[in-house]
Structure 1
């Protein structure tokens, strides 16, 4: 579990670092705008991919535990199933939060202005 939390912390720092690069450019220079756009797309892609990977592993571990619990005590399968579904919803919400952050990174900048500036420059 320590290894998983270390990986999650490093992933968070990586995504935060990319988003800082995405927002730190001068909006008047076409080359800098292109770098902002590329960094935003990269940060969104990596962030969502890593979040989906982490939630997939967590959901697999949750289902494994529920199946093992049901196998050991079949009479408690109803309570185990309800608890597992609530846990899966909580785990899935983390990936949805990553999706929202990725969409904000992609659409926070005025990309129409970016494309016009790049074409004009």
Structure 2
């Protein structure tokens, strides 16, 4: 094995590992947040069924906002894999 090949293998491994960690850990928080929004929406709908349309709309907006950070983490992971 040539000495010039070893650093490139280590760099490739580090890039792949960093992309996986970025996408993986970047999805944990938004997943928990989205689940909590759904939980509270179900509780609110059970408490006041006549406001179900308003609760559903608010829930979808809350989930979209919380999932935006997961999309950013996925983009960073893809940039690490295919651009760098």
State whether TM-score is above 0.5.
yes
Choose the corresponding residue for 1:72, options 22, 44, 47: 47
Choose the corresponding residue for 1:42, options 17, 39, 42: 17
State yes or no: 1:30 paired with 2:5: yes
Q: 1:12 aligns to what?
A: none
**Alpha-carbon distance in structure 2 between the residues aligned to 1:58 and 1:51:** 12
SS in structure 2 at match of 1:77: helix
Q: 1:99 aligns to what?
A: 74
Deviation at 1:77, TM superposition (A): 1.1
Cα RMSD for the two superposed structures: 1.1
**Alpha-carbon distance in structure 2 between the residues aligned to 1:92 and 1:58:** 8
Q: Which runs of 4+ in 1 moved over 2 A?
A: none
User: Gaps spanning 5+ residues in structure 2: where?
Assistant: none
User: Gaps spanning 5+ residues in structure 1: where?
Assistant: 1-28, 110-121
**Alpha-carbon distance in structure 2 between the residues aligned to 1:77 and 1:106:** 43
Deviation at 1:44, TM superposition (A): 0.8
Question: Over residues 15-72 of structure 1, what are the superposed CA-to-partner deviations in whole Å (9 max), with x where a residue is unaligned?
Answer: xxxxxxxxxxxxxx32212111111110111111112222211111000010111111
